[in-house]
Amino acid sequence: MPQPPAPVPAMLFLYRRTAANRLRQQVARAKSPRYLAAVVMGMLYIWWALFRNAQLGSGPLAKLVETDIAVPIASAFLLLSAARWWLFGGERSALAFSQAEVQFLFPAPVSRRQLVHAKLMRMQLAILLNTLIFSVLLRGGGGSVEGWQRGLSLWMLFSTLALHRLGASIVHANAMEHVGTARRRLIVPLLVFGAVLAAVIFGVVTAWPLLRVASLSGVKAVLLAITDALRATVPAAALWPVRAVLEPVFLGGGTKWLAAMPWAVMILSLHYLWVVRLDKAFEEAALEATQHRAERQRRLRASQMGNSRSRKGKLATVPSLALTGRPEMAIAWKNVVAALRGGAWRTQLLTFTIGLAALAAVTRSASDRAGDVFMGVTFAWGAMLLFIGPLWMRFDLRLDLPRLAMLKTMPLPGWRIVAAEIAAVTALHSITVWSLMVVPLVMFLQEPALLAESGATIPIIVSVAVGVPIFNALMFTIQNGTALLFPAWVRLGTEARGFETMGQNLLTTGATTLVAAVALVFPVGLGALILWITNDWGGWSVLVATIMASAVVMAELWPLLLWLGGVFEKIDVSEVAAST
């Protein structure tokens, strides 16, 4: 007697065995001393990042939940994120299955509803991991909330967000593929979302005069003014569903938490029922998203993002390559072409620069204070770009690792290949950061008198301009070095996105920053020593200190590049192939 099909146990088996085999593979990898050392360092780092405030009895982000502004600001942020999913289709990757899942699950006797549940099950792994990370980060904050209460609240929050993203993606993808009924189905949520957004914008616009006054007193005052605006009747009512799932995370005290939970459970349940009822649209949308993801992954491996041709079929013009000369220039050129064609870097840079220049002119015209605030924001953005840019911009070895076999046949020593891979992306990212200089430039052009009264500004700007490429070279070397040393851990795509992976991304960025900080101990120390000796903290000694610090960074990078070249020559292609 044949057994009836049992898709749910089969899927559970698939995910359980996948997780177990992946773990086993990672453990086996740790037999290599290199990976073992990294695992130990990683564990120490995670312990440091998550538990360093253990003596104080609270997590590093615990104070965040105790502030008055957290819930309204987070509600508005989540609403904007959700609006993006509805307006622009969200992330199709939320719908996608792996190619193997499509091959085995879709032709199998599995109902559409079971497919939806398979997707929900798979999403839980990332949700649970993030719940754990954020539970630790937020522990102790918010008064008497127990650990399990915060964990449950976070799990409900992340699950609701994931369900909402999934639902929005299904409806949007379906509407894009079909006309008529499917497209009409998008109108209702868009109208609802439009009304909610309008209510929030109405609240902010109503409070505009107060916001202007607050802008004179700094960022904190602005945030408080926005919070007050969002607490007004209309925007508060519009934001209620978002706040309902957020509040249990932030509320202190057992009774308050118990009172808030039923609403959060209701919102989560409604989301679940909604997504499950979308099962008919899900199958088709998931197939389409899987195909789209496969195509995107293929492009990511080759050119990071986007289409190489414009809609009219034209290729972006690129600098021509001389057929003779230093061979490593060919590698650097190839990466520049990737950025121009694959990443539309030039268009983004131009848009970014023009936008900055316009904002600089507008803010300086509005008031000196507004101009100063914008200048401060630009500096902060620049500093952030220096750290985040090397994670985003991957026109280097990380892009080429899947073609490692081909790279290894190139008639060049390993260190020259590694250096060429890093050089192009360093130059491109330096230009991106330099483009921020348009802000002070526009302001000086508006008011030439500022130039004479600028004091420390000019030496600092020149020093930053000199230091940026060196700092970028260091950051990109760290990123590429990590890819070379631990190719099995390198992620080439950006599939793992959304709220589910926020915690992991937070940890990865922190780890990179930590390595950079160690590398900068000597250069920064030398720079500080020069400034201390000259006692000229705002003059041209800053430039001298920057040049000397840059020289030390270069002295650190040189042996590092030679060593990474050796690693490149010895690396086994099978190690990389397993990860791609």
Question: Which positions lie near another protein, rule CB under 8 A?
Answer: 298-299, 301-303, 308-309, 315, 321-325, 327, 329-331, 333-334, 337-338, 341-342, 403, 405-406, 408-413, 569-570, 572-574
Provide, rounded to whole angstroms, the least separation between the CB of residue 488 and another protein: 15
Backbone angles phi, psi at 57, to 5 degrees: 75, 20
Provide, rounded to whole angstroms, the least separation between the CB of residue 412 and another protein: 6
> 10 Å Cβ neighbour count for 140?
20
Owner of token pair 């030398």: 526
In the complex with another protein, the residue whose CB is nearer, 465 or 567, is 567
In the complex with another protein, the residue whose CB is nearer, 176 or 410, is 410
Provide, rounded to whole angstroms, the least separation between the CB of residue 107 and another protein: 25
CA angle 162, 94, 60 (to 5 degrees): 50
Provide, rounded to whole angstroms, the least separation between the CB of residue 396 and another protein: 13
Query: Which two structure tokens, joined as six digits, stand for 236?
Result: 């508060």
DSSP 310-343: -TTSPBPP-PPPPSSS-THHHHHHHHHHIIIIIS
In the complex with another protein, the residue whose CB is nearer, 316 or 462, is 316
In the complex with another protein, the residue whose CB is nearer, 86 or 415, is 415
In the complex with another protein, the residue whose CB is nearer, 212 or 416, is 416
89: phi > 0 → left, psi -120 to 50 → alpha, else beta; which? left
> How far apart (Å, rounded) are the C-alpha atoms in residues 49 and 61?
11
**Three-class SS state of 309:** strand
Return the closest-CA partner of residue 576 out of 401, 410, 414: 401
The two most distant CA atoms of the chain are separated, in Å, by: 93
In the complex with another protein, the residue whose CB is nearer, 327 or 376, is 327
Query: Which two structure tokens, joined as six digits, stand for 532?
Result: 């201390």
Determine contact, residues 289/96, Cβ cutoff 8 Å. Answer: yes
Query: Which two structure tokens, joined as six digits, stand for 362?
Result: 């507008």
In the complex with another protein, the residue whose CB is nearer, 31 or 449, is 31
In the complex with another protein, the residue whose CB is nearer, 84 or 301, is 301
Strand partners for 33: none
Provide, rounded to whole angstroms, the least separation between the CB of residue 336 and another protein: 10
> How far apart (Å, rounded) are the C-alpha atoms in residues 467 and 497?
32
Provide, rounded to whole angstroms, the least separation between the CB of residue 50 and another protein: 35
Provide, rounded to whole angstroms, the least separation between the CB of residue 342 and another protein: 5
DSSP 112-130: HHHHHHHHHHHHHHHHHHH
Query: Which two structure tokens, joined as six digits, stand for 410?
Result: 């190139």
Return the closest-CA partner of residue 375 out of 388, 390, 360: 360
In the complex with another protein, the residue whose CB is nearer, 189 or 493, is 493
Provide, rounded to whole angstroms, the least separation between the CB of residue 395 and another protein: 10
> How far apart (Å, rounded) are the C-alpha atoms in residues 456 and 531?
13
Provide, rounded to whole angstroms, the least separation between the CB of residue 26 and another protein: 17
CA distances from 65 to 189, 327, 501 (A): 31, 55, 20
